Amino acid sequence: MVVKNGLSNIVGTENVIDGNDVPGHYSGDMSFAASVRPQAVVKPNTMEQVQAIVKWANETSTNLIPLSSGPPHFRGDTIPAHEGAVVVDLTRMKKIIRVDRRNRVCMVEPGVTFGELIPALEKEGLAPLITLVPRSHKSVITSFLEREPFTIPRFHWEAQDPLYCVEVIYGSGDMFRTGSAFGPGTLEEQWAAGRAQVRGMGPSQVDFTRLLQGAQGTMGIVTWASIKCRPLPKIKETYLVTSDKLETLIDFAYKILWKKLGEELFIVNSLTLSAILNQDSNKIAEMAGSLPPWILVYSIDGSGLMPQEKVDYQKADSLELAQSFGLELKRVAGGASADDVQKIISRPSTEPYWKLRYRGACHDMLFLTTMDKTPGFIKKMHELAGDGNYPADDMGIYIQPMSQGTNCHIEFNLMIDPENKGLAEKVSRIDSEGCETLAHMGAFFSRPYGPWAKFAFGPDAQTVIALRKVKSIFDPNGIMNPGKLCF
Amino acid sequence: MSLSREAYRALEDIVGPENISEEPAILDGYCFVWANEAMFDDRFSARPLAVVLPESIEQVQGIVRVCNRFNIQFRAHSSGWSCPALSSKESFLSIDMRRMDRIVAIDAKNKYAVVESYVSMQKLFLQTMKVGLRPHTIGCGPSGGILASATSNFGCGNTSASSDFGGRVPLGVEWVLPDGEILRLGTLGTGSGWFSGDGPGPSLRGIMRGYGGATGGLGVITRAAVKLTPWYGPPALKASGKPNIYDIEIPENFQINVAAFPDRDQLTDFFVLVVEEAIAFALHRSPAASLAILSTSSGDDFWQMVSASPPEVAEAMKFIGVLMMDAGSPREMQYRYDLLQKIMERTEAMNFPMGPDMMGPVFRNLVTGQGQQRVFNITTGFLTAAVNEESWDSVKLLGQRVAEELYAKYEAEGKIAITGENPWFAPLGDSFAHTESVVSYDQFDPESIKAVREILAEADIKLPQWHLAVGGAEGCLSFDEASEKAAAPYCLDFLGYEKKIKKAFDPNLVSESSFYVKP
């Protein structure tokens, strides 16, 4: 009751849930994280309310778990590690504060989803950089705070992209703005001087934005962010490039990236593409069976002053390149249409979320590597699946070049029937044991959720020491999402 | 000031007697620093306590531990070109990284190179161009250290439109912290290689550097991987000519355009469009004088060319943009050429004719960064008093206001040399713009030095008032207490956090902080 009163004073009674009224999705998710019920959920809708909550939490030694996306959740990072925590649910913070066409940037609050942002950007001739068919309730800000990959590597110059500046309430209760948003002047004064919060670096000799990325809410709570956008294409051509050999598609992808051609560029296996395109599990299985094992999705945007000419020359160059690898730029493959793929990857997922359509539940394993090493990891994952009696045919695979091809994200989607507890246990074992095996092979768990943290931080004591120093500066009382990462 | 004998012997034990010196004749070679008089009102920087030349991370770690034991201030440098590399009012131990000059690896497929601290941009470029790649280059020129710009200082140049800001290219990093511990960023820490510098979890790259680097105030970077960018030119460049005006044959798939605009708004629109269309290999707004700098070999020649130019030429060159395009195919070049014509038409640009004698030096400058350093020829010294990165419109406004409200008075008095409104600006990647407003001053003229010091102080006060930048307080050249105080009323307390970081990572305060915060 004390907690409820304290929080109600800040956000109003109607925006606090406590005790048994707390819905189950705040206590557990689709990961293997232990279920822990928070003592309350609080739903602020302004920066000032968030700041008051953090100050209250410091005074009352209450742990806070920030959360910006709606359910279902998959990674365990928004589930309290300890009893007595309060979830700060930011889904009411839905303002699209600014869209700036000239500087190709938008400023949004954490509750804004891709589905809400897309039409607002379209009106101004912009489009978002979007992750691979995100779930409909997924927060745009959270996606990029967590360094999730987006589908156009040409715009992904480096790991911080497309996030620029953020406003954050640190665990200390202090408000700060990162990058060029720190000042001089208020946001309004900066806008009047032509500034657009497009420099994510700094201020000064520290990259404050970078210290919040990958933090899983352990440093503070972000209340808005400025995010890079891209020009809305006037025309677009998408192709499916298929092969039985992943290595051939990887070599082709390297060459496309070196030539700086095209926009969307990623590789999926047949099950992932089919799950993205189909709703029904039988149809997913059917199309997955008729598709070649590997599909590279590749598109060319026609935007700017000469859209058709751009598409024409890039298409001609791409065709020549594909031919040199014995590949074709197909509009249809195995019953999948490139146009359908394009429509679907430009938006959030329809319900149910595509990862859940085939078997009802899904557990992801994801890490960074380089594209040339992905075949080795895939082989190992198949071995791990075989050893663990998990049907490897139920495993989706997604390879996303990042940093303009310098490295890549690889994701294994282990789809499972939620009623099949035995299989879930097997997947849990593959997850924990496989993580160690993959880490020894060089997999980089840059976003170490749950048990992966042990292998991500285990070999590197100095990183842990340094991160704890940073944590003590921004969250001196350790109230922000304790029990995650190395904190 | 000098080192204790015990401290000297401890350092000597680490690097050997041939790699440490406290001979005045040697040390004075580390005291002549560009712009020291503008920073510290003294022609020469303080003589170092000693200079030490390590050859491995283990030796660097040993040196840093000795510094902690004996409470010795140290600062490392590579090429030493930039003022923060060597300049200081107080003596410190100078760690000269010149023996760590190895290119450790080039991963052509994944487009990155691993280098030690002293590898220069040109040394790396000469190797990477053989495999179709290039590093970022910055304005200090090809002899500048590749890691200095990427990990420790500023880093932008003519090619930043395609190769990004130096501070955004580091991947895995090996770093001797001020307390002597070794921190390996990203994949390097977990034994996964060099391909990423961010994570696990929050990225400690954010501590290593921000918009500016820590400029020696937070330990020593010994090796790092840097991202590379495609190079469509030949595996070697053909140079000709005589020192110091070299010509380089322009490859077929490169094209240079110099365009003059009727006003600053059209010029800015041109940049906005070119960056959005992503057709630039190199792009910058060029001060009118820069073309003359590139094509003359001495200060006398430069001034002769300027004085011989009719006033209408100077007026026509007031708003100049230099663009170089590259292309991976003839089709691409045709498309880019056609697109450029449209952009120029829309922005009322006029092609600025350049003779064949000019093209080679301009190409060389755009590709390697070599040539712009001749800005010293104008009046012997220069500084960039207003630096910022943000939107195109804000850097345009900053350049204009600085010229009109800061520089004009001093130029009219003949204390500094500028040629009207002349900021250098360039895009950094596809997102934002960088600007530097250059002041040329005479480092042998006390009045000129006084003027530039006044300009720096005025910039610290006025820039925040205009809501456009914060002068020296963002770690540029004139970082000091006065600039911090001037910025504070207009900004959130970033320096407060930076001071906490300094204290947490450098508990004995031995990493020399003339160009970083002091807790």
Q: Do residue A204 and residue B210 have CB atoms under 8 angstroms apart?
A: yes
More confident residue, B370 or B475: B370
The residues facing A122 across adjacent strands are: none
Residue B312 has pLDDT above 90, yes or no: no
CB < 8 Å to A404, chain B = 111, 227
Check whether residue A102 and residue A223 sit in a common domain. yes
pLDDT band at B155 (very low <50, low <70, confident <90, very high): confident
CB < 8 Å to A189, chain B = 467
Query: Once rounded to an integer, what is the mean pLDDT over residues A313-327?
Result: 98
Using CA atoms, how far residue B309 sits from B288, B317, B374, in Å, is: 11, 11, 19
Q: In B376-433, which residue ranges form alpha helices assigned H by DSSP?
A: 376-379, 392-401, 408-412
B481-498 core/surface letters (b: 16 or more CB in 10 A; e: else): ebbbebbbebbbebbebb
Residue pair A188/B174 in contact by the 8 Å Cβ criterion: no
Using CA atoms, how far residue A357 sits from A277, A349, A360, A383, B52, in Å, is: 10, 11, 6, 25, 64
Residue B276: what residue type?
A: E
Of A208, A218, A305, the CB nearest to B339: A305
Nearest Cα of chain A lies from the Cα of B426 at a distance, in angstroms, of 14
Q: Do residue B191 and residue A254 have CB atoms under 8 angstroms apart?
A: no
CB < 8 Å to A406, chain B = 110-112, 171, 195-196, 227
Of B195, B214, B432, the CB nearest to A205: B214
Using CA coordinates, name the residue in chain B closest to A468.
B504
Q: Do residue A259 and residue B328 have CB atoms under 8 angstroms apart?
A: yes
Q: Residue B484: its pLDDT value, please? A: 83
Give residues with Cβ within 8 angstroms of A214, minimum separation 6.
Answer: A145, A146, A147, A446, A447, B198, B199, B200, B201, B202, B203
Residue B478 has pLDDT above 60, yes or no: no
Through-space distance between the first and last CA atoms of chain A, rounded to whole angstroms: 29
Residue A175 exposed, middle or buried by CB count within 10 Å (0-12, 13-18, 19+): middle
pLDDT band at B376 (very low <50, low <70, confident <90, very high): confident
Tokens representing B47?
A: 């003589």
Residue B324 exposed, middle or buried by CB count within 10 Å (0-12, 13-18, 19+): buried
Write the secondary structure of B85-110 as one string of H (helix), E (strand) and C (coil). Answer: HHCCCCCCEEEECCCCCCEEEEECCC
The residue among A152, A167, A177, A204 with the most chain B CBs within 10 A of its CB, best to mutate, is: A204
Nearest Cα of chain B lies from the Cα of A202 at a distance, in angstroms, of 4
Least confident of A43-47, B33-37, B309-313: B309-313
Residue A379: closest CA among A245, A243, A240, A242: A245
Check whether residue A389 and residue A298 sit in a common domain. no
Check whether residue A116 and residue A191 sit in a common domain. yes
How big is chain A, counted in residues?
Answer: 487
pLDDT band at B38 (very low <50, low <70, confident <90, very high): confident
The residues facing B440 across adjacent strands are: B382, B417
Using CA coordinates, name the residue in chain B closest to A218.
B202
DSSP codes joined into one string, A62-98: --EEEE-SPSP--SSTTS-SSTT-EEEE-TT---EEE
Q: Do residue A444 and residue B200 have CB atoms under 8 angstroms apart?
A: yes
Does the bond joining B244 to the residue before it have cis omega, within 30 degrees of 0? yes
Check whether residue A254 and residue A165 sit in a common domain. no
Residue A105 has pLDDT above 70, yes or no: yes
Q: Do residue B165 and residue A201 have CB atoms under 8 angstroms apart?
A: yes
The Cα–Cα gap between A78 and A73 comes to 8
Q: Which CATH number fits domain B103-230: 1.10.1130.10, 3.30.465.10, 1.10.3210.10, 1.10.8.50?
A: 3.30.465.10
Residue B369 has pLDDT above 90, yes or no: no
Residue pair A459/A196 in contact by the 8 Å Cβ criterion: no
Using CA coordinates, name the residue in chain A closest to B112.
A406
Indicate whether A336 belongs to any domain: yes
pLDDT tens, residue by residue, A216-253: 999 999 999 999 999 999 999 999 999 999 999 999 99
DSSP codes joined into one string, A399-421: EEEEGGGTEEEEEEEEEE-TT-H
Residue B476 has pLDDT above 60, yes or no: no
Q: Do residue A462 and residue B183 have CB atoms under 8 angstroms apart?
A: yes
- The whole-chain average pLDDT of chain B stands at 92
Query: Once rounded to an integer, what is the mean pLDDT over residues A444-460?
Result: 93
At which residue do the structure tokens 């020593």 appear?
B220
Indicate whether A445 belongs to any domain: no
Residue B110: closest CA among A190, A180, A368: A368
Of B132, B196, B206, the CB nearest to A368: B196
The Cα–Cα gap between B292 and B309 comes to 10
| Residue ranges making up the domain that contains A385 | 359-440
The Cα–Cα gap between A212 and A170 comes to 10
Query: Once rounded to an integer, what is the mean pLDDT over residues B475-501?
Result: 84
The Cα–Cα gap between B322 and B286 comes to 7
Least confident of A349-363, B113-127, B264-278, B356-370: B356-370
For chain B, how are helix, strand and coil distributed in percent, rounded to 5? 40, 20, 35
Query: Residue A109 is part of a domain; what is its CATH number?
Result: 3.30.465.10
Residue B1 has pLDDT above 80, yes or no: no
The residue among B164, B192, B276, B425 with the most chain A CBs within 10 A of its CB, best to mutate, is: B192
Using CA coordinates, name the residue in chain A closest to B215.
A205
CB < 8 Å to B106, chain A = none
- Our count of domains for chain A comes to 4
Determine the 3-state secondary structure of A29 from DSSP: coil
The residues facing A386 across adjacent strands are: none
Residue B346: closest CA among B274, B427, B258: B274
pLDDT band at B34 (very low <50, low <70, confident <90, very high): confident
pLDDT tens, residue by residue, B75-84: 999 999 888 8
Of B183, B209, B331, the CB nearest to A205: B209
Indicate whether A479 belongs to any domain: no
Check whether residue A100 and residue A125 sit in a common domain. yes
Q: Do residue A473 and residue B504 have CB atoms under 8 angstroms apart?
A: yes
Nearest Cα of chain B lies from the Cα of A258 at a distance, in angstroms, of 6
pLDDT tens, residue by residue, B204-228: 999 999 999 999 999 999 999 999 9
Q: Residue B518: its pLDDT value, please? A: 83
Which fold is adopted by the domain B5-96?
A: 3.30.43
CB < 8 Å to A216, chain B = 201
Q: Residue B82: its pLDDT value, please? A: 84
The residue among A77, A164, A168, A206 with the most chain B CBs within 10 A of its CB, best to mutate, is: A206
Q: Do residue A403 and residue B196 have CB atoms under 8 angstroms apart?
A: yes
Residue A244: what residue type?
A: D
The Cα–Cα gap between A448 and A76 comes to 11
The Cα–Cα gap between A196 and A311 comes to 30
Check whether residue A114 and residue A211 sit in a common domain. yes
Residue B455: what residue type?
A: I
pLDDT tens, residue by residue, B409-452: 998 999 988 655 667 889 999 989 998 888 889 999 999 999 99
Q: Residue B339: its pLDDT value, please? A: 98
Using CA coordinates, name the residue in chain B closest to A252.
B109
Check whether residue A277 and residue A190 sit in a common domain. no
Residue B125: closest CA among B109, B103, B140, B151: B103
- The whole-chain average pLDDT of chain A stands at 97
The residues facing B442 across adjacent strands are: B380
How many other CB atoms are there within 10 angstroms of residue B157's CB atom? 30
The Cα–Cα gap between B108 and B125 comes to 13
Packing angle, helices A281-290 and A270-277, rounded to 10: 140
pLDDT tens, residue by residue, A155-172: 999 999 999 999 999 999
Check whether residue A413 and residue A316 sit in a common domain. no
Query: Residue A313 is part of a domain; what is its CATH number?
Result: 3.30.70.3450
Tokens representing A135?
A: 């779930």
Query: Residue A71 is part of a domain; what is its CATH number?
Result: 3.30.43.10
Does the bond joining A418 to the residue before it have cis omega, within 30 degrees of 0? no
pLDDT band at A435 (very low <50, low <70, confident <90, very high): very high
Check whether residue A101 and residue A222 sit in a common domain. yes
DSSP codes joined into one string, B426-445: EEETTTEEEEEEEEEEETT-
Residue pair B297/B379 in contact by the 8 Å Cβ criterion: no
B74-77 vs B93-96, strand pairing mode? parallel
Q: Do residue A214 and residue B490 have CB atoms under 8 angstroms apart?
A: no
Of B191, B202, B339, the CB nearest to A213: B202
The Cα–Cα gap between B136 and A97 comes to 35
The residue among A205, A409, A465 with the most chain B CBs within 10 A of its CB, best to mutate, is: A205
At which residue do the structure tokens 């000795």 appear?
B66
Using CA coordinates, name the residue in chain B closest to A100.
B391
Check whether residue A105 and residue A189 sit in a common domain. yes
Residue A481: closest CA among A180, A188, A142, A112: A142
Residue B441: what residue type?
A: Y
Indicate whether A354 belongs to any domain: no
DSSP B34: T
Tokens representing B139?
A: 């304005």
Q: Do residue A205 and residue B215 have CB atoms under 8 angstroms apart?
A: yes
Using CA atoms, how far residue A476 sits from A61, A83, A479, A487, B230, in Å, is: 11, 20, 8, 12, 44
Handedness of CA B146, B152, B154, B155 (dihedral sign): positive
Q: Which CATH architecture has domain B239-370?
A: 2-Layer Sandwich (3.30)
Residue B310 has pLDDT above 90, yes or no: no
Q: Residue B303: its pLDDT value, please? A: 86
Indicate whether A462 belongs to any domain: no
Check whether residue A187 and residue A290 sit in a common domain. no
Query: Once rounded to an integer, what is the mean pLDDT over residues B150-173?
Result: 94
Q: Residue A407: its pLDDT value, please? A: 98
Using CA coordinates, name the residue in chain A closest to B164.
A157
Residue ranges of domains in chain B: 5-96, 103-230, 239-370, 374-500
DSSP codes joined into one string, A255-281: HHHHHT--S-EEEEEHHHHHHHH-SSH
Chain A to chain B Cβ contacts (< 8 Å): 332
pLDDT band at B396 (very low <50, low <70, confident <90, very high): very high
CB < 8 Å to B274, chain A = none
Using CA coordinates, name the residue in chain A closest to B329.
A317
Residue B79 exposed, middle or buried by CB count within 10 Å (0-12, 13-18, 19+): buried
Q: Residue B239: its pLDDT value, please? A: 85
At which residue do the structure tokens 């609080």 appear?
A42
The Cα–Cα gap between B80 and B364 comes to 22
How many other CB atoms are there within 10 angstroms of residue B345's CB atom? 10
Q: Do residue A405 and residue B111 have CB atoms under 8 angstroms apart?
A: yes
The Cα–Cα gap between B212 and B232 comes to 30
Query: Once rounded to an integer, what is the mean pLDDT over residues A88-116?
Result: 98
Residue pair A307/B340 in contact by the 8 Å Cβ criterion: no
Residue B190: what residue type?
A: T
The Cα–Cα gap between B97 and B75 comes to 10
Give residues with Cβ within 8 angstroms of B58, minimum separation 6.
Answer: none
Q: Do residue B196 and residue A372 have CB atoms under 8 angstroms apart?
A: no
Q: Do residue A369 and residue B192 have CB atoms under 8 angstroms apart?
A: yes
Check whether residue A264 and residue A183 sit in a common domain. no
pLDDT band at B479 (very low <50, low <70, confident <90, very high): low
B423-428 vs B432-442, strand pairing mode? antiparallel
Q: Do residue A184 and residue B464 have CB atoms under 8 angstroms apart?
A: yes
Indicate whether A372 belongs to any domain: yes
Using CA coordinates, name the residue in chain B closest to A251.
B109
CB < 8 Å to B465, chain A = 184
Tokens representing A14?
A: 């109607």
Tokens representing A82?
A: 């300890």
